[in-house]
Amino acid sequence: MDERRPADLCRTRESWWQALDNVKPYALAVLILTGLTFELVIHYFLKISVVYTQFYYLVVVFAGFWYGRRAVWVALFLGGLQIGVSWIITGSISPESLLRTLILVIVAFIVGSFIELMNCYRELLEQQNRDLVEINLQLGRSEEATGIANKKIGLLASITRHDIRNQLMALVAFLELSKMKITDADVLSLLGKADWAAQNIQRQIEFTKNYEEIGVQTPQWQNVSTILEGLRPLIPPQVDLELRLDGLEVYADPLLEKVFENLIDNSLRHGERVRHITISTLQYGLGEIAIEYADDGVGVHDEDKERIFEKGFGKNTGLGLFLIREILAITGLTMKESGVYETGVLFEIFIPKEKYRFSGTES
């Protein structure tokens, strides 16, 4: 597809002074006969040299619609015709006849140029529409092929995960049986590390499943309080969960629940002394708000505030916070950690104004 602008493309069309092509013979004959009739009847016989020339403008305009700027040749013919008759009648070429001819040529050129430009733009638009139709067809075929490939990959990944889980269950069972039969402390320590590695593998398998699901389903409006109320059973009785969300709804990936599930899990695993978790909203300028997730645990070192979101960072698999950012990014949500070490974590989830609303009820 030519990437030049339409105006540039239209300027490169063939020159107007080239020979007439696509001639409409009947239309051209009518134009010529009309001019001859005006000259012979009105000018030559009736000796009227002003009124009939006004009809020439109509003839020239029609010629412009049919032939574009090449209508100048028609204008020159008609102008020359009335100059010739005027010379026959008076024996001289009057300035008026020359001026009328010049005006006819100018009108033909302006009308023809405008019509050619409009026709050029129309042709370019039609060509672009044809190109877009072809591109859409290609995209449709590509999407269909991608969908089939994704389905196959998803099926393969699901089968592979299932087989690995089965093998892990067998491995953990053999490790437990080995612990029951072995009394050597060093060997038991090694078996414990092997069991720990198996548990990490299990968590990594779950991560691949969750990561595979990101962006698969269409984002939707979700009540944040409803999500968090459903996660209360995951929180030990000694930890208090306080919600101050005022019916906040967020337009996000359906895996938004995983975001808060991982944050809660992060507090319980690494907070060491967490007894209180607060989730609230904070208004920012320009219509943006943030969801603030805070606990009273040990918090995060300043040098680790960005590293905690990196894949593989942490004491366990290091996948939870990485997964959170990926889920939020689907609909343009971002997150950072702003807490003070030794006073607890403070995760801020920033939400653009078009991605949140308040239902007016706290679910």
| 43: number of Cβ within 10 Å | 22
Asked if residue 1 has pLDDT above 90, the reply is: no
pLDDT for the residue 218: 82
The Cα-based distances of 171 to 166, 183, 201 in angstroms read 9, 19, 11
| 3: number of Cβ within 10 Å | 6
| pTM for this entry | 0.51
Q: Among 59, 64, 67, 65, which residue's Cα sits nearest to residue 19?
A: 67
Q: The tokens of 100 are what?
A: 């009328």
User: Which residue has tokens 């299932």?
Assistant: 162
Distance CA(332)–CA(351), nearest Å, equals 8
Report which of residues 180 and 152 the model is more confident about.
180
Q: Any idea what DSSP says for residue 92?
A: S
Report which of residues 57 and 41 the model is more confident about.
57
Asked if residue 344 has pLDDT above 60, the reply is: yes
Mean pLDDT of the chain: 80
User: Which residue has tokens 């075929």?
Assistant: 141
pLDDT for the residue 73: 85
Q: Is 68 exposed, middle or buried (0-12, 13-18, 19+ CB in 10 A)?
A: buried
The torsion angles phi and psi of 317, rounded to 5 degrees, stand at: -80, -20
Distance CA(352)–CA(346), nearest Å, equals 19
pLDDT for the residue 20: 42
CB-CB contact of 225 with 247 (8 Å): yes
pLDDT for the residue 24: 62
The Cα-based distances of 234 to 190, 228, 229 in angstroms read 31, 10, 10
Asked if residue 209 has pLDDT above 90, the reply is: no
Asked if residue 206 has pLDDT above 80, the reply is: no
185 pLDDT band, cuts 50/70/90, is: confident
Q: What's the topology of domain 220-358?
A: Heat Shock Protein 90 (3.30.565)
Counting DSSP H helices and E strands in the chain, the numbers are: 9, 8
Q: Any idea what DSSP says for residue 218?
A: P
What is the three-class DSSP state of 358?
Answer: strand
- Residue positions counted in the chain: 363
Amino acid at 204: Q
Asked if residue 18 has pLDDT above 50, the reply is: no
17 pLDDT band, cuts 50/70/90, is: very low
CB-CB contact of 20 with 70 (8 Å): yes
pLDDT for the residue 128: 86
Distance CA(104)–CA(76), nearest Å, equals 8
Distance CA(145)–CA(153), nearest Å, equals 12
CB-CB contact of 347 with 237 (8 Å): no
pLDDT for the residue 264: 92
Beta-bridge mates of residue 191: none
> Which of these ranges, 27-36, 114-123, 291-300, 318-327, has the smallest mean pLDDT?
27-36
pLDDT for the residue 337: 93
pLDDT for the residue 217: 74
210 pLDDT band, cuts 50/70/90, is: low
Asked if residue 171 has pLDDT above 70, the reply is: yes
Cα angle 336-339-343, degrees, rounded to a multiple of 5: 155
Q: The tokens of 158 are what?
A: 């699901």
Distance CA(234)–CA(258), nearest Å, equals 12
CB-CB contact of 220 with 207 (8 Å): no
User: Which residue has tokens 């690494």?
Assistant: 270
Report which of residues 114 and 210 the model is more confident about.
114
- Give percent of the chain with pLDDT exceeding 70: 77
Asked if residue 13 has pLDDT above 80, the reply is: no
Report which of residues 70 and 159 the model is more confident about.
70
pLDDT for the residue 12: 46
pLDDT for the residue 363: 46
CB-CB contact of 104 with 38 (8 Å): no
pLDDT for the residue 336: 93
**Per-domain residue ranges for the chain?**
1-213, 220-358
pLDDT for the residue 255: 85
Beta-bridge mates of residue 271: none
Q: The tokens of 57 are what?
A: 């403008």
